[in-house]
Amino acid sequence: MLSRKARVTSKGQITIPREVRQMLGVRAGDALLFEGSEEGVRVRPVREKSPFAKYRGIGNPGVPSGRKAAVEHLRELRGR
């Protein structure tokens, strides 16, 4: 379990320790969500889109995305 300290400035700002930023996968300008519960406060990054979206479709050059296109491509490969 990782444990790091941070100080709150008079403006309510903190510097997130490098190890924590790396664990969360956040960089400058990214948004964080603070969720409070009876157990404490939970911090997690806000993802606008999937981190894998940029890789979608790179494994199938020339095949459009979507299930219908994939099925048609497979039928062509099988000669049907």
Other CB atoms within 10 Å distance of the CB of residue 26: 17
Residue 57 has a pLDDT of: 66
**pLDDT tens-digit profile, the chain (80 residues):** 888 999 999 999 999 999 999 999 999 999 999 999 999 999 999 988 777 887 776 776 777 778 888 888 889 889 87
Q: Domain segments of the chain: what residues?
A: 1-47, 49-80
Residue 18 has a pLDDT of: 94
Residue 21 has a pLDDT of: 93
| Type of residue at 5 | K
What tokens were used for 35? Answer: 């969720």
* Domain 1-47 CATH (choose: 3.30.420.40, 3.40.50.10470, 3.90.1300.10, 2.10.260.10): 2.10.260.10
What residues contact residue 46 under an 8 Å CB cut-off, 6+ apart? 30, 31, 32, 33
d(CA 35, CA 75): 48
Residue 79 has a pLDDT of: 86
What tokens were used for 42? Answer: 């939970």
Residue 5 region, left (φ>0) first, then alpha (ψ -120 to 50), else beta?
Answer: beta
Residue 16 has a pLDDT of: 93
Report whether 54 contacts 45 (CB < 8 A): no
